[in-house]
């Protein structure tokens, strides 16, 4: 009984999505450029949750405290042959800095620079003139370069980490040039917005 309800809901949602996306087709795009700025990325949340960090070069477990995170700016390019589906790439960056503590002692500051490169896809549900609704996803690599100070010593460590993004819902307003906002989970942040150009 429960599985029948789920199956029926999925079928109804799929039919509505197809109808809305077909009825909402009114603007075209081939080349899609975006400049965005996001907040609270999943990578930043992961860093917060894994506050205790083992730094091999000092044989001790340090904790990050008084951490400040920058926003997450991104440049994205997507190519689309039919205006609905698009694929492309995104590059972005964010920085975190704060102090390293071992037990209750402040050992010195740290700075971590994070460079992100990812491949992305998107699907536009609604493509009306001046109004678009879309979703998307991406997967990539985050290169974290950290500089850690411990009293008179300094060490730099680089690490490659996997990263992802799921754009749950995006809203774009404008014709060739527009503004947009997105709700998602991943490297671009829970919320990001910016400028977009479609040609």
- Provide the strand spans (E) within the chain: 31-39, 52-55, 60-69, 72-79, 85-102, 105-128, 130-150, 153-174, 177-186, 191-198
82 in any annotated domain:
yes
Give pLDDT, residue 30: 92
pTM exceeds 0.85, yes or no: no
Give pLDDT, residue 9: 53
Give pLDDT, residue 108: 87
- CB burial string 143-159: b at 16+ within 10 A, e below: ebebebebeeeeeeeee
3 in any annotated domain:
no
Structure tokens that stand for 184 in this block: 């998602």
18 in any annotated domain:
no
7 in any annotated domain:
no
15 in any annotated domain:
no
Cα–chain-centroid distance for residue 33? 16
1 in any annotated domain:
no
186 in any annotated domain:
yes
104 in any annotated domain:
yes
For the chain, what is the domain count? Answer: 1
Q: Which of 148, 90, 84, 153 is nearest to 122 (CA)?
A: 84
Domain hosting residue 145, numbered range: 27-198
Give pLDDT, residue 60: 53
pLDDT in tens for each of the 199 residues of the chain? 444 554 465 455 444 444 444 444 457 889 999 999 999 888 788 777 765 444 444 445 677 888 899 999 999 999 999 889 999 999 999 999 999 887 778 888 999 999 999 999 999 999 998 999 999 999 999 999 999 888 788 889 999 999 999 999 999 999 999 999 999 999 999 999 999 999 9
**What CATH number does residue 164 fall under?**
2.40.160.20
Give pLDDT, residue 114: 94
């Amino acid at each position: 009984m429960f599985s029948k309800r789920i199956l029926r809901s999925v079928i109804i949602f799929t039919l509505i999505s197809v109808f809305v996306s077909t009825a909402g087709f009114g603007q075209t795009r081939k080349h899609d450029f975006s400049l965005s700025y996001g907040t609270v990325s999943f990578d930043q949340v992961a860093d917060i949750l894994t506050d205790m960090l083992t730094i091999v070069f000092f044989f001790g477990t340090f904790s990050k405290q008084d951490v400040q995170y920058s926003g997450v700016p991104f440049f994205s390019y997507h190519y689309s042959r039919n205006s609905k589906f698009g694929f492309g790439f995104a590059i972005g960056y964010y920085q975190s800095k704060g102090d390293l503590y071992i037990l209750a002692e402040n050992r010195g500051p740290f700075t971590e620079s994070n460079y992100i490169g990812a491949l992305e896809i998107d699907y536009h549900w609604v493509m009306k003139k001046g109004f678009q609704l879309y979703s998307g996803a991406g997967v990539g690599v985050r290169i974290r370069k950290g500089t850690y100070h411990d009293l008179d010593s300094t060490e730099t460590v680089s690490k490659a980490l996997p990263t992802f993004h799921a754009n749950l819902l995006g809203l774009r307003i404008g014709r060739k040039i527009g503004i947009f906002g997105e709700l998602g989970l991943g490297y671009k942040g829970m919320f990001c917005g910016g400028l977009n150009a479609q040609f």
